[in-house]
Chains A and B, each alone.
Chain A
Amino acid sequence: MINKQISSASQAVKDVFDGATIMIGGFGEAGSPIELIHALIDQGAKDLTVASNNTGSGEVGLAALLKAERVSKIICSFPRTANSTVFPDLYNNGKIELELVPQGTLAERIRAGGAGIPAFFTPAAVGTPLAEGKETRSFNGQDYLMEHGLVADFAFIKGRTGDTHGNIVYNKTARNFGPIMAMAAKVAIVQVNEVVEPGEIDPEVVVTPGIFVNRVVEVASPVFESELVAAGVSYP
């Protein structure tokens, strides 16, 4: 019998090791697996490389993980946030390395990593500072940059419903990077509002097939970054 359900967020992240690479889903707060991130802060792993579209807001979730100085490098498309000084302070003090990647290139690198494609060519960023040091090749008269697929030791993802086989459906634009990060990580950990039995999710609407998911954790009422920030919460 397959049962990927784990009893708690802390159990789900307990084997994250120092120096691990972690993909963290979310676009802004939509899809940010905040309970898994907070469990990781409690767990204590450090010297992490994180791939995530943003750098979090306020001093909760991803921003709190950064503030705790657990992350030595972030791979990111948009590290600027209106309401957080955590990343700018670390970056300007040389305490975190930034690999800035165009958003579509970040997504395709993750997809490629999960799909067994080591590298690919994209037209994005040709002729810009982000092309420096990268191989350029011409196809049909147009220049393209070579970009490498990205893989990770772990992925932290937020879904809406998952079954015990790891099949996942998402909530609206919280889907964003979740499905591709699940593919690209050795251990994909998904927090969902509700865990159900196999068969309860219509196979026609499964977004992430269970083969890509290793652990499912029920977090029935997840908190939201904006609500915590508005309440003045700073984690831990």
Chain B
Amino acid sequence: MSEQTQTPKAVGRTREEMAKRLAQDIPNGSYVNLGIGIPELVTKFVPDGHTLIYHTENGLLGMGPSPEEGEGDLELINAGKRQVTANPGAAFFHHADSFSMIRGGHIDLCVLGAMQVSKGGDLANWSTGKPGAIPAVGGAMDLVAGVKSVFVITQHCTKHGDPKLVEKCTFPLTGVGVISRVYTDLAVIDITAQGFRLIELSPGVDFEYVQDRTGAELLPIINP
């Protein structure tokens, strides 16, 4: 379908709408680690009255927004190496403490991007495995192994139109059976013991449209 999608009409949610939809599902008071890219947009859409405490694995709990121009500190950055601020009540710590929070199950939720997610909840998001590519893993493998819930937020398909939700990942894995829910432009989908279970369709999208763009069977919504 790559040839047919040269002039796609807007179907499903935008990146901001995906982030807004996900933000509704985060319980008030959660400790949350956000990956780089679309996950970072989640902070803009936290429902009124909710407070989330953001963890960034390079040593800050209580991460705040980007600083005003000229107000930042080159040594106050997030995992994406962008300047951030520290909210009232924030704490700094070293890397072994930071990953004790992660691996020790103290972080409630992690939101990551994905290259592929399998119907068994396997995640591939760090390497294409292609020769010449520089492998770089960062903290992704520790996050998926230790955080209580791991959500993925991603476009449903690649730029070339290939499904990202697949029977079995073909790219090198980040973790096995670690993803619980996926938010895409087209749908919200849970990983269950039976496989991909549709939770919600994006406005204007029907089941067949999503199934056609999913690389494994999509189970219908229970109690629609």
Contacts and interface: CB of A to CB of B under 8 A. Distances in A.
A104 B99 contact: yes
A227 to B, nearest CB: 8
Contact of B136 (A77, A92, A178): A77
B152 interface: no
Contact of A177 (B94, B129, B174): B94
Given A124-B146, A176-B58, A224-B74, A102 B96 contact: no
Contacts of A102: 137-142
Given A123-B103, A175-B92, A128 B141 contact: yes
B176 interface: yes
Which interface residue of A104, A106, A180 has the most chain B CB atoms within 10 A? A104
Interface string A15-44: 000000000000111110000000000000
A119 interface: no
A234 interface: no
Contact of B176 (A127, A130, A174): A127
Interface stretch (A1-9, A61-69, A107-115): A107-115
A56 B199 CA distance: 43
A16 B175 CA distance: 39
Which interface residue of B102, B103, B141 has the most chain A CB atoms within 10 A? B141
Contact of B96 (A92, A108, A227): A108
A124 B74 contact: no
Interface string A65-80: 0000000000001111
Interface stretch (A133-141, A165-173, A194-202, A213-221): A165-173
A105 B146 CA distance: 12
Interface string A171-192: 1111111111000000000000
A130 B93 CA distance: 27
What bracket does the count of chain A residues touching chain B fall in? 35 or more
Nearest to A114: B96
Nearest to A174: B75
A221 to B, nearest CB: 13
A77 B74 contact: no
B77 A28 contact: yes
Contact of B94 (A125, A128, A171, A180): A180
A88 interface: yes
B75 A108 contact: no
Given A102-B138, A107-B98, A173-B56, 15 more contacts: A28-B58, A29-B75, A80-B134, A104-B98, A105-B142, A107-B94, A108-B103, A111-B96, A122-B142, A124-B142, A124-B146, A129-B172, A130-B141, A175-B92, A176-B94
Interface of B: 56-60, 73-77, 81, 86, 92-96, 98-99, 102-103, 122, 127, 129, 132, 134-142, 145-146, 172-176
29 contacts: A27-B95, A28-B77, A29-B81, A30-B58, A30-B75, A102-B139, A103-B99, A103-B142, A104-B57, A104-B99, A104-B141, A104-B146, A110-B96, A123-B146, A124-B103, A126-B176, A127-B122, A127-B175, A172-B60, A173-B58, A173-B59, A173-B76, A173-B92, A175-B93, A176-B58, A176-B94, A179-B94, A180-B94, A224-B74
- 10 cross-chain pairs, A with B, having the tightest CB-CB distances, nearest first: A104-B142, A104-B99, A127-B176, A107-B95, A174-B75, A111-B96, A80-B136, A103-B139, A28-B81, A123-B145
